[in-house]
Each structure stands twice: as C-alpha cells, then as structure tokens.
Structure 1
Amino acid sequence: MHMHVFKMDDGKEVNPPEGIVLKVEDVMGSHIEDPITFWGQPIELIEDLLKISTALTEICPFAAKVFGDPAPGKIYGGLYSEDQCWYRCNLKKMITNEKCLMTYVDYGNSETLKKSCIVELPEDMQYPGLASRFKLWGLQIPHNQDVTPFDQKIEEKLKQHQETELKLADDLNHAVETKIKSLTNKVEKLRRVRCEFNENHFGDDLSEAVKVITEACLCMLHSMKKLEDTWNEYNCAQETLQACNSMDDVHILIDKRNEVRSSLYAAADEFISEVEKLPIEDRVNVLKSLASSLDAAYGPYEVEHNSNEMFDQFFEWRDNKLQEFNNIKQRTDSSLQLLSEWFSKTMKFFDLNSSASLTSTEVINDVDAVLDQAEQDVCKELEISTTQKDDADIKIICSAFNKAMQMIIKEQDLLLVIQNKYEASIQFKEQVGQWLNSYPSVEDLLSIKRSVKNLKAQLRWKLVEKNNLEDLGSYDQVKVQEMKEEICRLRDDIYEEICREQREYERLGDIVQNWFPELPLLYPEAAIRTYMQSAGLLTDSLERDLFDPEPMKELSSKRPLVCSEIKSQKILLKGYSVDTATEAQMIERAAQYHRAWSVLKEESGLLPILYLFACKSEPVTYVMVPFYPGWCLKTVQAIKPLILEELCKVMQGVAVGLHTLHNLNIIHGALHPHNIFAVNRERGVVGDFDFTKTADQRNIASWMVADKLELVAPEVRNGQPAVPASDVFAYGCLLLWLNFPKNNLKTNSDGTPDVSELSIDPKMLSLVSRMICFNPDDRLRVDQLLEEDDFLKMKKPDIIQEGTKAPAPDEIIMNNVFTNETKSDLLGVDST
C-alpha cells in the first residue's frame, strides 16, 4: 500500500523534522493495532521473510523444546495456531507456568502459546525482527469513538492485501526451487531416520521378552512338592533316630526310617526323570541373557508390586503407537508415490521424443497440493520418529520392565532351587542306593582294633624278651639288635594300623552323619560317638608305652613331656593332668582347634594335632603333635636371626594361623616366641596351646613375653576377658621384638609399648601402631591386616640400638651354656 506513515520507535510517535517532505513507501501490512497503527515490512524484505520461513520449516521440527521459562529478549520458534507454521517470536509476558504471551517479531502480532509449542533457535537466527510499527500521519482517534468495527474492517482489508502480496511473492523467482529443495532435504533426513530408527522405540525387545517370560515360564514341578514333603519326613525320622538312646525303640525307628527312605528314593527318581526332560540349562541361559539386555536398555530394576495388568497396558499402548506410526508411514509413502508419478509424467511431457500425449494442464494440475501433502506427511513422520516419549509413556514402559524383571528373578530363583534339589537327589541316589538292600558294618573297624591289640601284645612280649635278655648281663649283641629292629617294625605296624583305624572311623563318621545315626547306639563297642565328639582326635588304641620315648623332664617341670619317632616322623607327646570335667573341656577345645586346622590343613598356618589319648595308669591325657626341634622363633632368632625376606614369610604364616582361629571364634591366648615355629626359615606356624585352660588363663601366663617386652594386652592385664584383638596386640609386639631384639622399649602409662623414638619405616610404624593401641576396638583385625598393602613390606631399620652379633651354634654347644629355657627353645618345645 502507498501511504504517508510515521515509523514508531518503542511505541512512541516519531515526528518528522520541519521542512522535510515525507516519502511514500511500499509497505506490506501484517498486523493492525488500531485504525491508525499497524505493523508491517517494506516490500523489499519479502524475500527475506521467505528465507526465514524456509529455514524455520527445516529447523523447528527437530529443535529442542524450551526448558523452563523463555528468556526475555531471546528469539524462539513458535508454532502459530492459525496455519500450524513456525515463526520467530519472543516473550511478551508469562500468563501461567505453562502458557506465555509471545510476539511474532517478523509480523508484529502476539499470541498465547503453550511451552510445548516453543522451541530453541540457533545463534544465526538471533537477530532483530523484520516487522516495524507504523502510524498513519495526521490522523487521530477521538477518545469516545468505538474503534472495534473499524479495526475489524481494516484488519480484514490488510489481511486480504497480505494474502495478495504473499501470492505475488510465491510467484517470485526460485519459488519452485525453494519448495522442492525444502522437500528433498526433509526426505533425505527421513531416509536417514528410517535406516537408523531404533526398533525398540516402541519397546520391541521388551515385548519379545514378555512373551518369552510368560509363554515359556517353568512353574513348580509336580514331583517337586512330593520330593520336599518326603525329604522333610526323612529328616525327621533321622533326627528321631539320632536322639534315640533306647535299644527297645531303635529298631522300630529304623524300620520307619527305612520305609521313608525307600519312598524318598522313589520320589528322587521321579523328580530326576521329570527334570531331565526339561530344558533347564537353556532356560537359565535365556533368562540370564534377557535380564542383562533389559537391564541395559531400561534399568535399573526397581521393586514394584505390579499385577499382570501392567503387561496388558503395555501391549495396548504399544499397539496404539505402532498403529499410529504405521498409518503415518503409509501416508508418507503414498504421498511420495504420488509425487514420483507426477515427476514421471513431467519427464514424459518434456521428452519431445515420447509418444505420450499429455497436456500442460495434466502435468501442472494439483502439483502444489501434491508437494504440500508430501511435505506435510514427511514432516509428521519425522516429528513422530524423533519425539521423545512423554512421562505417561515412560511410566507404562518402566512398569512393564519392572514386572518382567520381577518374573525373571522369581523364575531364576525357582530354577536354582530345582537345580540344587536335582544335584542333591542325584547324590542321594548314588550314596544311599548301596544301602537299600544292605546295612553298613563296623566289622572292618573292629577287625582293625583286634589287629592293634594283637600287635600290641606282640610288642609287649618282645619288650619283655629284650629286657630279660639284657638283664642276663652277657648277651648276644646281634640278637638284641635284631630284637630292637623287630620292636621298631612292630611300633610302625601298630601306628599304621591306628592310621587305618582313623580312616575307617572317618568313613563310619560320614555314614553316621548322613545316613545311619543309629550306628553308635547299635555298636557301642566301636566308640563311634567318642570319635565324632573329638573331631577324630581321641583314640583308645594309642598308649604312651607303645612309643620309644625320650623323657624331657629337664625341659618341662609342669607336665609329662616326651619326644619320639614313628615312621621317620618326629613327634612330641604333651601330658596334661585332668579330671572328668577338665578332660571333657580339653577334648572339646582340642576338637575346635582341629576343625579350624582341617579347613586349610597345611595352608592353615597352624600346628596340627595328630591324636589325643588317655594314660590308662594315671589321670593324664596326651596331645600328640609334630616335633620341630630347633625351629621355634626364639631359638632361630638366638642362633641365626631371620633375614628380612624370611621374616616376612614367617610372620605372614603366623597371621594366617591367627586368621584361621579367629574365623571360628577361637582365641589363641598364648602367642609368644616359644610357640611360633619358623619351619625351614620360610613357613610360619602357630603352635597349639594348653587345652585345659581358657584363653584368659593362657593369656596371663608368665611366659607371655619376648625378652622384656610384655605381650599380654592391656585389657587382659586390667582383668577384662581376652578377645581376638588381644592376639593382635601380641602379634604387633612380636613384630617390634623381631625388628628391635635388643632394644629395651619403654612402656606408656596405659601399658602399650612406646614407639615414638624408634627408627622404623613410617608405613610399618603406622601399621604396628594400629595393632598395639590401647583400645581393642581400635586395633586392626587379622583379616584387615592381611589385606593391608603395606603389610610386612617393611624396610630394615636404619639403626638397631644395642645390636650385637649372635653367637654361632657351635659356640653355644662348646661353651655348654644351656639353661632350661635355651634347651626348650632348641628343641622347639611349647613351654606352655
């Protein structure tokens, strides 16, 4: 329109300078505020408007939705409600938390938009709007005049004019090129999206998983309930038999147990047959793979109390989404197919050599509609394919996922139970099958016992013969030597038979424990219960007289102590005076110690107990252990101290020994240099202790010292019970003694060693300090000690105070400076 106008600046009228003639401009009006005020653009900006429109059509469908409230002054993309096209806009004011009054900066009009209709624009779109505010020159609106009808008429005229101008603009150069280019760009993006489109966008993998979970689910087996009931009945029958002490009742209970055992054998056989027909292992692998893939795609799993309706809701949601998506894809394919047919007709029309007779009307007719429909359908498919799921969609998928994981875990638990019961049933059939038609016999054990008695009688007779021959005064030395060799063979044979006896006891103990608890009652002469109560240590076949003992009275004034040799193995016999009560306690404590050793045996870090046996003529019980002469830590350090590498290995083994005991809640209470063995200078072994005493009684003994270093923990000295941390305190003090053997360590007021003036590796000092601290709750546990990175990675101290060269072994022997303590050390005797 050609008119005299004033351009407005921020809503204020700008008066032209006097003497300046107003020029006439070509302006395209886009929005009317009142009869004399409107928004518009100079006609030369029409092409810029078209470029902006094309750019927004490509950018906005894929742009990020606005996050939070729109920022004032920032340019956004807004979806205009009238034509569903994108235009640039900025915030005028917030209406509600979800609605904003936005102004279209290139046209001047405003509209209330939801935040979901506003998107972010890149930096290159952040420039001022093309619309300007204009006012007709020389006109004013009376204050009492109703301008509404006039506004409507003017706006309608301007809208008609705008439509006319837009139509003219559509005819500008390159209009078709711009439209085709826009469409081809979108089709190219759609082709890429279809190739890369995640098939799981609508939960395809979750859908397949739900089908696998629900359709092939393994439920409780028919034979499993019967097996469980019969097994419970069998266990009750076994427990009743085990508690029975009456010979009158035992046979009735045995018959009942055997009847139930036959039923259990049949139930186990039926269960095994049913399980072997099922693809248990395959199902386990399938569920494991499903759980892993679902957790990676939808995790983490949260426990929800969902019903199976969650699956129905998920499938309904999925079917609706797929139907909507497939319909859109079909419309897109149909629109592009129509466009392809138009291009085909156009090619034929422009091919002068083609025989096809087409008119220009047939070629051009409805081409705009075809292009517009194709672009609209392509944009819709792009929008659906790239739009993120809303909260409602996510909630449905998560609920279905959690329900699926719940069912997977439940079935996995069931399959694990089935597998365990299957293995137990196989083992039951294999082990008890041999006893269905027979009964275990103790005859082999009794035969071994008779053999031992016979060999003992032969040994005693030979000993009498040898003594009688020696009493004659003059005797044949060769014959006496032959007798000694035969006596030695008899002793070895007896020991071999006793070892056989122990193995037979072990076999029978297993049978009693698992299958026939009545055996000790039926065969009291076999003493099976005594064997089991002592963890296999106590035997009545051993006697002190069976050995060729070397008395060691000068080394132990407190109890009988002898050493001997059997089958080339040196052993030590420690005698403890007992009465009925202390003997039972001693056997129980020795059995606990032996069970701790049995877990790892040679790797346990403990000195093994070979046997326990009672003296028939005196109230003395003997403990039989291996003998390590010269290998106790006190002796080794006195003769030839361990080098750093050896010391680390030995003390590592000692820590393992304490850990073995503490794992079974056993407190050693007698950890001192006389009771630690550095076997071959490379293996640390913790010696046994006095089983007639409690840990508190052992821990306050006078030998709990290393030279002048007190090894008893402060809490025990203060009258509190010994705890595992008390052993740790002794261990930490031993480490100090090994590093500073001649250093007279001072003692703090709380009874702990003063290490403040020692020259020692800082890391090692920190570690030792946490073992010898006053409060037992603050001390390191042995398992924590073994896990310490710096454990025993000590450096040699820079200064060893009061250090002296240790005498050589031959010097000690030549000077004959044996004290009772030194002799005990050299022989590796536990002075406890």
Structure 2
Amino acid sequence: MDEDTHYNKVEDVVGSHVEDAVTFWAQSISRNKDIMKIGSSLSEICPHANSVFGNLDPKKCLVRYIDYGNTEILNRSDIVEIPLDLQFSSVAKKYRLWGLQIPSGQEVTQFDQGRTFLGSLIFEKEIKMRIKATYQDGTVIAQAEYGSVDIGEEVAKKGFAEKCRLTSSTSISEEKKSDPGQLVLRNLKNPIPLWGHRSNQSTFSRPKGRLSGRLPLELKNENDSGNHVTFPKENLAVGDFNLGSNVSLAKIKQDQKLIEENEKLKTEKEVLLERYKALELKVEQTALELQQEKATTVDLTKHLESTLKTRVGTRMKNLAAKVEMLKEIRRVNINIRFGNDLSDAIQVLDEDRFTIPASLNELEIIWAEYSLAQEKIRSCQDVNEGSILVAERNEVQQKLYMAVEIFILEVDELPLNKRLKTLQDLSASLEAVYGQAKEGTDSEEILKKFYDWKCDKREEITSVRSETEVSLQRLVSWFQSTLKAFDLSVEESLTSEDTIGNIDELLENTESSVCKELEISLIEQGDADKEIIFNTYSEVLQRIHSEERLIATVQSKYKDSVEFKKQVIECLNESPNVDHLLSIKKTLKSLKARLRWKLVEKNNLEESDDHDGSEIEIIKQEITQLRNSVFQEIYHEQEEYEKLTSLVKKWFPELPLLHPEIGLLKYMNSGGLLTMSLERDLLDTEPMKELSSKRPLVCSEVDGQIILLKGYSVDVDTEARVIQRAAAYHRAWKEAKEQSGLLPLIFLFLCKSDPMAYLMVPYYPRANLRAIQSSMPLTSEEALKVMKGVAQGLHTLHKADIIHGALHQNNVFALNRQQGIVGDFDFTKSVSQRASVSMMVGDLSLLSPELKMGKPASPSSDLYAYGCLLLWLSVQNQEFETNEDGIPKVDQFHLDDNVKSLLCSLIYCRSSVTAEQVLNAECFLLPKGKSAPNTEKDTEYTQKKEEELKVENLDKNK
C-alpha cells in the first residue's frame, strides 16, 4: 500500500458505479475529453450494437464493463486477456472510503441497501476525493466529500459500514510482501457482492453499446478479511479478478468450484442447525405447557374441595337470590310483558267514555243558520234589503241564544276537565313505555287478536307459576318437618330417612321450576308478540286522542257560546253606534281648518315687507301644536275604526251598509292603512330631490319621527290596485310587526285636489346597503346579521303569497348596522312589471336566469337576488366571474364553508330552497361562545345618524 506519495491530494471525480457500501468507481473530471473521444469511436464502429441478455447458464458468466455500463453473458471459455498493444488505461478508478469496512455477518438485504444508499450519494455527482493511500491493485483509499457532506460519515451513520480496527505495522508490511498469487487465492476464498445482484442496476449505469473486444480480468481485493458476504455462484463475475494476476483460468475455475461446494455445505449446516434449535424450542414449550396444566389441575382440585365444603350453603343462597328476582319480575314486568297496562287502559276508555252532548247537534245547526244570515248581510248592497236581512238575523240570533243557554247548562254538568286529565295521564304513561304509535289500524281485528293472545299467554304463565309455587311450598314444608329432627327436646324417635327424605331431588325440582319461570319472564319477546302489543297500543292511543279531540271541540264550542251569550246581552242593552267616530271626525275637521288658517297667516307674514320675527315664531309653534293635535285625533280615529271593524267581523256586518258616510268598508279593505283625514298640505315637507328620480318624494316630521312621503300618480283603476297591494303588504307586516323584517307602512291617503296617492313610511337616511357599503362597509358578522333580517322579511312576504320582485341594494336597509329589513316596492306596478326592471349590484345582475328567459317572477327569483346581495356583501369589492347565463361563480372566492354552501343553494339550486330554510341556515346560527355585538360601535353609529338628522332639520327650518 502506498501511503505517502499522494497523501491528502485532492481530486474532483464523478461517481459512475458502486460495488458495496464503501467501494465505488469514479471518473476524473480532467479526463472528460478522453471519455468523449472513446464514446464517439465506439459509436462509429458499432452504432447498432445492443446489450446481450438471456437466461444464466453454468458455463457462462456475467461480464460488466465498468467504464461504459454494458452487460452481457459470455461463455467462460471465450474470456481471454487482451494483448498489451490493444489495452487502454482504465478511465474510472476504484475508490474505497477511508477508515470504513463492511460489518461482519451483514445480511444480503442490508448489503444491497448500503450499496443503494452510497449510489444515491455519489452517482453522477461531482465529488471531492481527499486521497489517503493506494492499494497495490490500484484501489484508492480516500475521504469523499460532496459539498459540505462527508459521505463516509453518512454511510456510517446509517449503519451500512463500521470504523476499521487498528492494524499493526507488522501486518501491513506482511501485506506488502505477500505473493501476488497468494493474494489472488485469498481473495478467491472471500467472495465479493456483485453488480448484477443490485436491486436497481440502472440507477448506477447506463447502456452505451458493447465493446468489440473483451475487457481484462480484474482481481478484487477487499483488504478486510472477515468482512465478506456470500452470494450464489451465478452472481460471481470474472471481472472481479485483477489484471496483473498470473493465475490461469483453469485454476480459477477449480477454486470457484471449491468455493461453491463449501458454500453449499455451509448452507446445509445452517439449515440443520435451525431445525435443531426449532425442535429444542418446541420441547421447552411442551414442558412449560405440561407444567401449566399440572398447576391448573392442582388449583381445580383445591377449588372443588373448597366448593364441596360450602355446597349446601351456596346452593341455598343462589336459590334464594333467584326467588327474590322472581318476586320483582312478577311485580313489575308482567304488566308490560303480557299487556296488562293495555287491558287497564281499554277498560278506562270503555267505562267512562265521553259522549257528545245532545244539545250540541241542535246548537251547530242553528249556528250554521246564523252564520248564513250574517254572510247575506255582509254581501248585501241595498239598505232596504239589508234592514230585512238584519231583522231575520235577529230572529235567528234569539233562537241561537236559547240553544246556547241549553248547551252551556248541559256542559257545566259534565266532568270535562277531569276526564281530559285522565286521558292525558293515560296517554303519557303509555307513550313513556311504548314510544311513538303508528297510524291507520283496524280496531276490531286488533283488539280481538290481542284478547286471544292474552288468553293464551295467561294460560301458559299460569301453568308455570303454579308449578313454581307448588315446588316452593314443598320446600317450605320440608324445612318445617326438618325442625323436629334437630330439636333435642322432642322425645319422639324419628329416623333420618323419614325426616330428611330426598332433599337433593326436592332442591333440584325447585330450582328447575324457578329457573323455568325466570326464563319465560326474561326471554325476549318474538316479533309476532311485539307486533300484537304495539298494534294494540296504537289503537288504544288513537282512541285516547279521538276522545281528547272530542272534548276539545266541546270546550271550544262552549267558549264560543259563552262569548256569544255575553255579546248578545251587551248588544241587547246597547246597540253599536258610530257617534264617537263621527265626533272625532268633526274635531279633526275643525283642527284642520285652524291649521290651514295658521299656515295662511304664516305665509302672509313671511311675504310682508315689515314682518315681525317673534310673531312668526309664535305662529310656527301654534302650527306645530295644531299639527300634532291633528295626528293625535287621527290615531284616535284609527282606534275607533279598529273597534268597529272587530264588531263588523264578529257580530254586526250591517254597519258599513247602514253607515256608509264613515267609510268603514274602505278602511277594512285597506287593512287599516287608509285614512281619509290626512291631506298633503297639512304636512311641513321638504323635497328629496336626490331620491326623486322615479317618483316625487318629500320628507317631513311626525311626532318626532322623520318620515318619507312617496307620491304615486293614480287613476280610478290604479287607485284600487294600489290600495289592494299596499293592504296585502300591510297585513303581512301586522302579523309580526317589528319581527316581520319589513319596512312598516304608516299611512296611505289620497289627494283630494290631484290624482295622487301618498304612502307614508319611516325615513332611514343613508341606511340602505348601497350607502353603507360606499361609506363604511359592513363586516362579515354585521352582513350576516343584516341578511338574516332580510331573509325574515322575504319569509314574511312569501308566507302571505307576496313576491317582492324588486329586491336590490337601494331597497334593503341595515338599521344600526345590525337589523336588516326589506323595503316596500312600487304598488302601482304588478309583480311582473317590477321584476322586469334590470337591477345591478356592481357588475352583477340581480335578475334570475328564469326572469331573463321571460318566465314569471317567483319566490325563487327573490331568493336569487337575495343570494347575489349576500355574495356582494361577502366579497366586498372583488370582481365577479360569471358563466354564459350570467350566474356568478362562487367557488372563486375564499368564503366561510357555511356561507358558501348557502350561496350555492341560493344561486344554483333555488327551486328547492325556501326563505324559511334560508332563515335557519347554519351561517345564521350564533356559534357557542360568540361575543355579544359591539354596543360601543352601534352607539357611535346611532349618534352619528342623530347628528345628521339634526343638521337636516336645521336646514329645513331655515
């Protein structure tokens, strides 16, 4: 080994082939041109040559050309040494990692893994080699580095190699002086892992065409005796021998054969050794099992001996425990198991069954006649005919009054509440045991089957119970008779056979009887038994509910009868009149005249040249007081109208016919929205030019509230339709009022001088979505709160069969940035006219695809507009992408999963979604632990709005 000549010399090489975890071949970067020249020459000589592959043959061996990566199978006799004049110095050098060796006894799998790991570190990579020594066969011992990575340390860390043991200088000198022939023989006895045995050969070499000649044999010298891995004979390659060897090929073949036989014997030895160890382990396991069985037998014998000592006591305790269990089962389970509770319920239903009072049928006949008379009066248009119908109605009313008195007296004697309480308790107890019943049962057939089944079960359980009781009685008798045998005071001589008898047989019979009854009582009921019991339960429950409904009907009719009797007595004492309403109207007329006069007075003073400011201020205060008084009287008028409307609906439908001057019918048709006492010139209004693009809008103040007055041009037909549509909207709002999610309508009145209808609504300055989003956009939480209120508004309208048709950002309001409400729409237009107007939010159309196709508006088109508004609020100023139908793409935005799910339902699957379902969507549910709304922010916003209103009021009064 040459250690000093090139010590610590550094070379840059490229890895090309790996033999094992510490040995590899690499090519110097400085010889790139020579390699390219050789490759070009070979490609010109044999451009179409391919590698030779095939099945291995004992007479052939695997040859690898390290420099070029080709592989082929050759006959051993064909392998010869190349003449010196044809030889070319090796392009690649063989390197061995410094200070490392392969561990002794390394498995083949680990050997392959180590070779693969080293290949991943060096193959086709530029490596810096720091030379430490060189073997006589040309192997270079060096420290390999790739960048900052020490390759030797990485291989050692993975456990594929270990540090070399220190070697004395004597052994090194002997190594140098050894005969080359001995070196060859020693290496032949230590087979080396071959390239052909790699798991992925192509990773480290690439086919480049065969050489036309045969490569020289190379002798492999590991220089680490004792660290060898054995491989099959077919994987040994001739290319593993050194070029400088003087050993003949025949000698090599002989040594190879000896090595193979030696390996075969070693394998057989290992197999026999493994069999021996397996048999030895089996003998040990069998001995251990035998010892365990002996210990188990001893324990079992001891347990039997101890058990026999307490056999009588244990048996009696077990029997007593079973008898106690049987007592509990007889007390509880038998009622449910054999339908005793259902039998009791049927008995309760049959014994005190409630029947309809005889006077109820007569009462309902007369009541129907009375309702018909009322309906005739309601539809009558002639006053004279109406008077006749009222007289006829009064006669029927007297008859109904008598029938009501009889019915009330009869019902007062019935224990309705007590019976209802009994039925409710009975149904509750049965439902707690059996659960929900099923509908549609055949009562007679079910009850008959239940009674037959119960009789059979009763016979069976009676027989078993009788047997149990007899056996227990015999056991009790035995105990009583046995007392004499153990009583020393008894002088009578008794034999043990006469007294004790066969107690074992007696105990056996008693245990058998008790266990049989327990088995019958505890065994799971069959499907047929369950079906009979459940069908009977369903029938019983239906009978209970039927009787409950009958009692509820009688109670309801009783309540109506008491109310009718009370109302009739009041009507007989004092008939309804409209004097109070007429008095209010007269007061209103006077107040409006004074208000108009004061307005004229103020105008005259303001137009005069020498007007007194203090006098004008006094008149303004009087005008304000008069205007407030007018509205107070209008509110009183509304209250009186409501009272009369209630009387008309219940008892006196003739009032609108007999008193047409009060306009009660118009008030009722408008749902209480229309007032005839309010006029446009009575209000101190300010024109709203910025909001009057479609219709004239003015702003005013009523009772401290800022209101907006919307003007509609109407003709005779349009006026009726406006009143009808506004009334429907107003009725929907009145159902829930503040919880309706709708903008309230305050008054609807008609102008006497112009063909105009005016609608008074609350005014929320800069509270619509468009204004809010342009100034201070809603947060995601605020947007969800607002849109939940909007969903409530749509639900209120759709429940009343009203389609909005004009939902857009200007018509949705966010009060205090928390409560969302839906604004009203143009009552002069039909729903199709409203829906045909193009509505946009940003670049997104709010018209649903079906509206664009000419289909009529529907709740789903409202929900489409709602979904687009929700998407607009959720994504703020982001651009929308739409498909060919103009439908926005929701997936492009990063949104909350619940919000995205709701948007997909609204925009893509509207036909299957309702406003009520939207209202109950997951994204609108308040999560647990959610913080309360930011009251400080709301207060700041409210104060800001109040300041704006004050500024507007000051501007109006200038």
For 1:288, the aligned partner's letter is: Q
8 A contact 1:767–1:791 mirrored in 2? no
For 1:720, the aligned partner's letter is: K
8 A contact 1:606–1:686 mirrored in 2? yes
Q: CA offsets per residue over residues 201-239 of structure 1, 9 Å max, x none?
A: 443222221211110111112232233222222211111
For 2:329, the aligned partner's letter is: E
Distance 2:870 2:530 in 1: 62
**How far did 1:421 drift?**
2.4
Q: How does 1:346-495 map to 2 (within 5 A)?
A: 346-349=482-485, 351-356=487-492, 363=499, 397=533, 400-495=536-631
Q: How does 1:211-222 map to 2 (within 5 A)?
A: 211-222=347-358
1:713 aligns with 2:816: no
8 A contact 2:780–2:874 mirrored in 1? no
Distance 1:495 1:364 in 2: 109
Equivalent position of 2:832 in the other structure: 696
**How far did 1:331 drift?**
6.0
Equivalent position of 1:786 in the other structure: 919
Distance 1:651 1:391 in 2: 52
| Cα distance, 1:609–1:403 mapped onto 2, change above 3 Å | closer
Q: Secondary structure at the match of 2:700?
A: strand
8 A contact 1:631–1:677 mirrored in 2? yes
For 1:733, the aligned partner's letter is: C
Distance 2:829 2:712 in 1: 11
Distance 2:381 2:590 in 1: 32
1:508 aligns with 2:641: no
Distance 2:343 2:356 in 1: 25
Q: Structure 2: which 5+ runs fail to align? A: 1-307, 928-940, 942-948, 954-958
CA RMSD of superposed structures (Å): 3.8
| Cα distance, 1:391–1:603 mapped onto 2, change above 3 Å | closer
TM-score by length of 2: 0.59
8 A contact 2:748–2:757 mirrored in 1? yes
Q: How does 1:55-454 map to 2 (within 5 A)?
A: 189-190=322-323, 192-197=325-330, 198-200=333-335, 201-297=337-433, 301-303=437-439, 306=442, 318=454, 322=458, 325=461, 329=465, 333=469, 336-338=472-474, 340-349=476-485, 351-356=487-492, 363=499, 397=533, 400-454=536-590
Q: Secondary structure at the match of 1:790?
A: helix
**How far did 1:542 drift?**
1.0
**How far did 1:184 drift?**
9.1
**How far did 1:562 drift?**
1.6
Distance 2:546 2:608 in 1: 86
Distance 2:441 2:695 in 1: 69
Q: Secondary structure at the match of 2:906?
A: coil
**How far did 1:531 drift?**
0.4
Equivalent position of 1:530 in the other structure: 666
TM-score by length of 1: 0.67
8 A contact 1:672–1:711 mirrored in 2? yes
Pick one of 870, 877, 883 that aligns with 1:748.
Answer: 883
Distance 2:893 2:325 in 1: 74
8 A contact 1:349–1:356 mirrored in 2? no
1:736 aligns with 2:871: yes
Q: Secondary structure at the match of 1:678?
A: strand
Distance 1:559 1:194 in 2: 88
Q: Secondary structure at the match of 1:508?
A: helix
**How far did 1:499 drift?**
1.3
8 A contact 1:306–1:399 mirrored in 2? no
Between 741-750 and 437-446, report the one with greater CA deviation.
741-750
Q: Secondary structure at the match of 2:397?
A: helix
For 1:577, the aligned partner's letter is: S
Equivalent position of 2:902 in the other structure: 767
| Cα distance, 1:328–1:767 mapped onto 2, change above 3 Å | closer
Distance 2:487 2:456 in 1: 47
**How far did 1:503 drift?**
1.3
Distance 2:531 2:880 in 1: 70
1:588 aligns with 2:724: yes
For 1:777, the aligned partner's letter is: S
Distance 1:342 1:391 in 2: 42
Q: Secondary structure at the match of 2:922?
A: coil
For 1:764, the aligned partner's letter is: V
Equivalent position of 2:165 in the other structure: none
Equivalent position of 1:171 in the other structure: none
Distance 1:293 1:688 in 2: 52
**How far did 1:493 drift?**
0.9
Distance 1:659 1:385 in 2: 56
**How far did 1:508 drift?**
0.9
**How far did 1:500 drift?**
1.1
Distance 1:340 1:485 in 2: 108
Distance 2:850 2:495 in 1: 112
Q: Secondary structure at the match of 2:620?
A: helix
Q: How does 1:23-38 map to 2 (within 5 A)?
A: none
**How far did 1:715 drift?**
2.2
**How far did 1:580 drift?**
0.9
Q: CA offsets per residue over residues 7-49 of structure 1, 9 Å max, x none?
A: xxxxxxxxxxxxxxxxxxxxxxxxxxxxxxxxxxxxxxxxxxx
**How far did 1:720 drift?**
1.9
Q: Secondary structure at the match of 1:623?
A: strand
Equivalent position of 2:911 in the other structure: 777
Q: Secondary structure at the match of 1:275?
A: helix
Distance 1:769 1:184 in 2: 70
| Cα distance, 1:242–1:328 mapped onto 2, change above 3 Å | same
8 A contact 2:322–2:514 mirrored in 1? no
1:542 aligns with 2:678: yes
Distance 2:695 2:497 in 1: 127
Equivalent position of 2:805 in the other structure: 669
Equivalent position of 1:659 in the other structure: 795
Distance 2:493 2:468 in 1: 29
Q: How does 1:807-818 map to 2 (within 5 A)?
A: none
**How far did 1:262 drift?**
3.3
For 1:476, the aligned partner's letter is: D
**How far did 1:509 drift?**
1.0
What is the total number of aligned residue pairs between the two structures? 621
**How far did 1:490 drift?**
1.1
Q: Secondary structure at the match of 2:354?
A: coil
8 A contact 2:890–2:903 mirrored in 1? no
**How far did 1:451 drift?**
1.0
Q: Secondary structure at the match of 2:886?
A: coil
Distance 2:501 2:904 in 1: 97
Distance 2:714 2:669 in 1: 18
8 A contact 1:578–1:619 mirrored in 2? yes
8 A contact 2:784–2:923 mirrored in 1? no
**How far did 1:558 drift?**
4.1
Q: Secondary structure at the match of 1:771?
A: helix
8 A contact 1:534–1:588 mirrored in 2? yes
Q: CA offsets per residue over residues 229-280 of structure 1, 9 Å max, x none?
A: 2222221111111111121221222122223333333433443443343333
**How far did 1:296 drift?**
5.0
Equivalent position of 2:688 in the other structure: 552
Q: Secondary structure at the match of 1:563?
A: strand
Between 400-409 and 321-330, report the one with greater CA deviation.
321-330
8 A contact 1:648–1:793 mirrored in 2? no
| Cα distance, 1:391–1:743 mapped onto 2, change above 3 Å | closer
| Cα distance, 1:721–1:194 mapped onto 2, change above 3 Å | same
Distance 1:558 1:392 in 2: 75
8 A contact 1:262–1:436 mirrored in 2? no
Distance 1:353 1:776 in 2: 99
| Cα distance, 1:343–1:496 mapped onto 2, change above 3 Å | closer
**Quick one: higher RCO (CA 8 Å, sep 6+), 1 or 2?**
1
